[in-house]
């Protein structure tokens, strides 16, 4: 008869216990951990990053009105993504509101935010006013656009904005999305050139003679 060392049975018991603990842990995490993960996937599908996967174009235009800057953004989506936005509109609206809140400086504030869908073009129109961005001193008006440029990682000079006597423009790609930006300005006799004396711009500001 073959004699078995009692320690062998001890090893078997230990192995069984380890396997049992591992199985219980797997069951526990499948019920406690993985389920929140599944819920998070639903949340991710309605977060900015997921909703913007099929965003392919943004058109941004600003204009100065009554010493404030009016900003209009149009975000274009694929049809499938736009339908997803409609299905999750409340969450999308909250995300856009949070995203737009980043477009400001310490001296500025956002007012009259309006967001609406445009089904005919599968786009979302965002309208808001930036207060406190235009100042006057010694007959010179100055407007800051750092509130717009910094969140996008842009710079009037470094990114070679096109210079005209009534606007600055830029077309390019940011994170795979095509951008078309137009900064409408009071018309002058000369273009808004970099570091211009009476009419010009720096990295994030624009200036011109104030109208009496």
Shared domain for 113 and 149, answered yes or no, is: yes
The tens digit of pLDDT for each residue in 106-162 reads: 999 999 999 999 999 999 999 999 999 999 999 999 999 999 999 999 999 999 999
- Please tell me whether residues 180 and 200 are part of one structural domain: yes
Q: Both 29 and 125 in a single domain? A: no
Range of the domain at 91: 54-209
> Is there a single domain that holds both residue 107 and residue 176?
yes
| pLDDT at 211 (0 to 100) | 81
The answer to whether residue 80 is domain-embedded is yes
In a domain, 187, yes or no: yes
Residue carrying structure tokens 């951008």? 179
Residue 207 in contact with residue 136, Cβ under 8 Å? no
Is pLDDT above 80 for 1? no
Band the pLDDT of 12: cuts 50, 70, 90: low
Same domain, 70 and 170: yes
**pLDDT band at residue 16 using 50, 70 and 90 as cut-offs:** low
Question: Do 136 and 197 lie in a common domain?
Answer: yes
Indicate whether 102 belongs to any domain.
yes
Q: Is 1 within the bounds of a domain?
A: no
C-alpha to C-alpha distances, 70 to 10, 110, 132, 185, nearest whole angstrom: 78, 10, 12, 11
Q: In this prediction, what percent of the chain has a pLDDT beyond 70?
A: 75
Are 29 and 113 found together in one domain?
no
The pLDDT of residue 38 is above 60: no
Q: Of 8-12, 105-109, 194-198, which gets the smallest average pLDDT?
A: 8-12
| Confidence label for 25 from pLDDT (cuts 50, 70 and 90) | very low
Please give the C-alpha separations between residue 180 and each of 51, 108, 173, 183, in angstroms, as whole numbers.
Answer: 20, 23, 9, 10
| Residues 84 and 184 occupy one common structural domain | yes
Q: Which of 150, 108, 163 is nearest to 130 (CA)?
A: 108
Let me know if residue 168 belongs to a domain: yes
Q: Same structural domain for residues 144 and 190?
A: yes
Confirm whether 158 is domain-assigned. Answer: yes
**How many independent structural domains does the chain possess?**
2
Exposed e or buried b per residue across 47-68, where buried means at least 16 C-beta atoms within 10 angstroms of its C-beta: eeeebbebbeebbbbbebeeeb
| Together in a domain, 24 and 100 | no
**Predicted structure pTM score:** 0.75
108 and 38: one domain? no
């Amino acid at each position: 008869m073959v004699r078995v060392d009692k320690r062998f049975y001890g090893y078997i018991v230990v192995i069984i216990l380890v396997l049992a603990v591992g199985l219980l842990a797997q069951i526990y995490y499948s019920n406690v951990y993985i389920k929140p993960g599944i819920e998070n996937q639903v949340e991710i599908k309605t977060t900015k990053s997921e909703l913007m996967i099929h965003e392919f174009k943004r058109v941004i235009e600003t204009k100065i009105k009554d010493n404030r800057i009016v900003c209009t953004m149009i975000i274009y989506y694929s049809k499938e993504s736009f339908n997803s936005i409609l299905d999750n509109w409340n969450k999308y609206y909250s995300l856009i509101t949070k995203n737009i809140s980043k477009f400001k400086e310490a001296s500025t504030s956002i007012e009259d935010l309006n967001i609406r869908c445009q089904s005919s073009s599968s786009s979302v129109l965002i309208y808001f006013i930036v207060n406190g961005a235009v100042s006057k001193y010694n007959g010179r008006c100055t407007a800051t656009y750092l509130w717009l440029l910094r969140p996008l990682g842009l710079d009037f000079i470094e990114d070679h904005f096109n210079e005209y006597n009534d606007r600055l423009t830029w077309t390019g790609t940011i994170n795979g999305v095509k951008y078309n930006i137009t900064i409408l300005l009071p018309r002058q006799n000369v273009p808004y050139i970099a570091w211009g004396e009476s009419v010009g711009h720096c990295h994030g500001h624009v200036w011109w003679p104030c109208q009496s």
